Amino acid sequence: LTSSPSFLLQTAVFRNSSSSDIEGLALLGDLETHSMACSTCEIRFLQPWARRGLTPKEWQDLTSLLHRYLFNFKRTVNRLAQQKAVPYPFVIQCSFGCELHPNGTVRGFYDAAVKDEGCISFDVDAALWVAHQGGELAREIRDRLNQDRGMAHTIQFLLNTTCGKQIEVFTQYGKESLERRAGRRAQLRLPGGARQPGGPQPADPVE
């Protein structure tokens, strides 16, 4: 079974300088595996095998790493919002993760959209943020994030090291679910690539 890319979708709603809601959804390919809502910031396991592969100590260490990332993320965003008089509320959406290639190399990625006004991404090799679209706000966010080296190195470690190892582990333990989902996608396609009528592909049930 070829390994699927692993990525996390993160949505952060900043209501004011002291109130924010952050939710995360982890996927292996298009299969939902874990989630986290920062009302409790506890990892939820969405597949019966999603807890396997890591020891309780490794899960504890990963949770601590994610908490440190989220703390730095909220602190940096609120400081910038206050300095630049960015009006609350606002939303930041992020997608980050990695792909594990057959030769064992890992390609990490992190893209973020800010208030629909710009897009920034993280250069994993250099541990630097880059502004791709938008005006002054995107550039200010890039410069501010690049000042927080602790957050940058935490993200670099997550994408370069943690992510690739987890793809290997969860691809192994989730092999049957991933193969069944791939077979279902194939059955839903007609010759020529068309889909059967009846709406979107159904979600894979938790076994």
pTM for this one?
Answer: 0.80
Confidence tier at 77 by pLDDT (50, 70, 90): confident
- The domains found in the chain, sorted by start residue, are 6-185 (3.30.500.10)
For residue range 167-181, list pLDDT tens digits in order: 999 999 999 999 988
CA-derived radius of gyration, the chain: 19
Which one has a higher pLDDT value, 13 or 202? Answer: 13
- Residue 8, judged by CB atoms within 10 A of its CB (0-12, 13-18, 19+), counts as buried
